[in-house]
């Protein structure tokens, strides 16, 4: 038997024992072998077993352990407490449950074949209704859905979102059961990720919490404010190109923040929908082209209606100050508002997709880039139209 096969057999033996007995079995092994075995077990079970190991072995085994990758299923996995061979009878399975130290934590019995591969699961209700001499093969649900340890938590949520199981088995590449993930834990982690999106969109790190220290929070937030400053310079440069237009048509200055605010809100709406689609996996079945078309259409509709109100306000304002070009200025506001809202809807889709394309977190400071794009497009469009149509 090879070393790898020997380790695999030891893993299976340890997994089926209580932590104290597992530690007594491992204490006879070398630190390297202990580390190799523990690296195949759920982190919670590893911590329980290590508590019963001698201090020197705890340290040596920890040095041999492979680190659990963050934001993967392996990080939130619990031990699989009920893994039984397919030849187990219903009577034996019930006796197993009665003699287990924590039967209340068992939701399903996971059934394996002669090679210890997962082939089915048995619901406790079906077990109680079956005949005592039947085997688990007779009452199990075949080919159950399972997660893998290296699966990203977001991907696991997408895969499990329509199943609503209380517990999901976790298997390795050979379909050996190595743990379970409880549904509430899976969706709790995703809820934390989603709750962090609003902060990430404006440069607040998802690791920052209410109790984060001032200096740590400063280091997390300030770099993105410097980025925002640079992008604001870009928008200011565009406005400076039309300084002569603003000087001659002072009324435009009052409508610049109105245009920026309205188009920014439109873009944030598109951004929120795009991020939600990326989080829930909707974009895998919904073409980006259709999403872009939808947001451009919504931008045109919203811009046309809000632009009509803003244009009427411009016409009234210009007329009250004695400007005889109030009608043309109102048309400028209407066209600029419509174009800016369409551009902001487009940016709301493209910004997070571009960040993901370049390997960055789509949520990270996306609203900073969105705001810059919408300000440049909206203000440039309004001042450009005013220069062409009025002056």
Mean pLDDT, consecutive 10-residue segments, the chain of 391 residues? 71 73 80 77 71 71 55 80 90 89 86 90 90 92 89 80 83 86 76 53 51 72 73 76 74 79 85 79 81 92 91 81 77 90 90 81 71 84 83 65
Going from N- to C-terminal start, the domains of the chain cover 3-67, 74-191, 203-389
Question: What pLDDT score does 300 carry?
Answer: 92
Q: Within 13 Å and on the Cβ side, how many CA atoms surround 82?
A: 28
Look at the domain 74-191 and name its fold: CBS-domain (3.10.580)
Q: What is the pLDDT of residue 269?
A: 85
SS (H, E, C) 290-343: HHHHHHHHHHHHHHHHHHHHHHHHHHHHHHHCCCCCHHHHHHHHHHHHHHHHHH
Residue 4, both tokens: 């790898």
Q: What is the pTM of this model?
A: 0.53
The topology under which CATH files domain 203-389 is Tetracycline Repressor; domain 2 (1.10.357)
pLDDT at position 203 is 47
pLDDT at 228: 72
For 288, the token pair is 């980006």
Which of these, 15, 204, 22, lies nearest to 112 by C-alpha position?
15
Q: From CA 2, how far away is CA 118, in angstroms rounded?
A: 23
pLDDT reported for residue 150: 81
Cα gap 179→148, rounded to integer Å? 9
**What CA–CA distance (Å, rounded) separates 161 from 319?**
58
Task: From residue 205, give the alpha-carbon distance in Å to each of 153, 215, 222, 223, 278.
Answer: 19, 13, 11, 11, 19
């Amino acid at each position: 038997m090879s070393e790898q096969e020997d380790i695999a057999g030891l893993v299976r033996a340890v997994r089926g024992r209580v932590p104290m007995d597992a530690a007594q079995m491992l204490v006879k092994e070398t630190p390297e072998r202990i580390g190799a075995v523990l690296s195949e077990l759920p982190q919670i079970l590893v911590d329980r077993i290590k508590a019963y190991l001698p201090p020197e072995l705890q340290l040596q085994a920890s040095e041999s352990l492979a680190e659990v990758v963050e934001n993967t299923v392996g990080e939130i996995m619990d031990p699989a407490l009920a893994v039984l061979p397919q030849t187990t009878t219903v009577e034996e399975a019930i006796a197993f449950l009665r003699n287990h130290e924590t039967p209340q934590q068992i939701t399903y019995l996971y059934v394996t074949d002669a090679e210890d591969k997962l082939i089915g699961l048995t619901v406790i209700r079906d077990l109680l209704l079956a005949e005592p001499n039947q085997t688990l093969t007779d009452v199990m649900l075949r080919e159950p859905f399972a997660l893998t340890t290296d699966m990203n938590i977001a991907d696991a949520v997408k895969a499990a979102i329509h199943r609503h199981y209380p517990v999901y088995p976790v298997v390795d590449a050979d379909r050996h059961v190595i743990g379970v993930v409880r549904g509430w834990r899976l969706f709790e982690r995703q809820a934390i990720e989603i709750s962090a999106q609003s902060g990430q969109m404006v440069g607040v790190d998802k690791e920052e919490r209410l109790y984060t220290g001032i200096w740590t929070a400063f280091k997390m937030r300030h770099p993105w404010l410097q980025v925002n400053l640079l992008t604001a310079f870009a928008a200011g440069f565009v406005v400076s190109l039309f300084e002569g237009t603003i000087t001659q048509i002072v009324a435009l200055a009052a409508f610049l923040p109105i245009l920026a605010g309205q188009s920014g809100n439109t873009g944030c709406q598109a951004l929120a929908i795009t991020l939600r689609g990326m989080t829930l996996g909707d974009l895998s079945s919904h073409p980006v082209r259709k999403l872009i078309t939808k947001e451009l259409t919504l931008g045109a509709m919203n811009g046309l209606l809000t632009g009509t109100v803003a244009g009427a306000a411009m016409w009234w304002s210009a007329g009250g100050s004695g400007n005889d070009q109030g009608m043309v200025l109102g048309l400028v506001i209407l066209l600029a508002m419509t174009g800016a809202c369409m551009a902001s809807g487009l940016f709301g889709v493209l910004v997070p997709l571009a960040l993901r394309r370049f390997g960055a977190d789509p949520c990270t400071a996306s609203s900073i880039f969105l705001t810059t794009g919408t300000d440049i497009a909206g203000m440039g469009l309004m001042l450009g139209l005013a220069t062409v149509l009025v002056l």
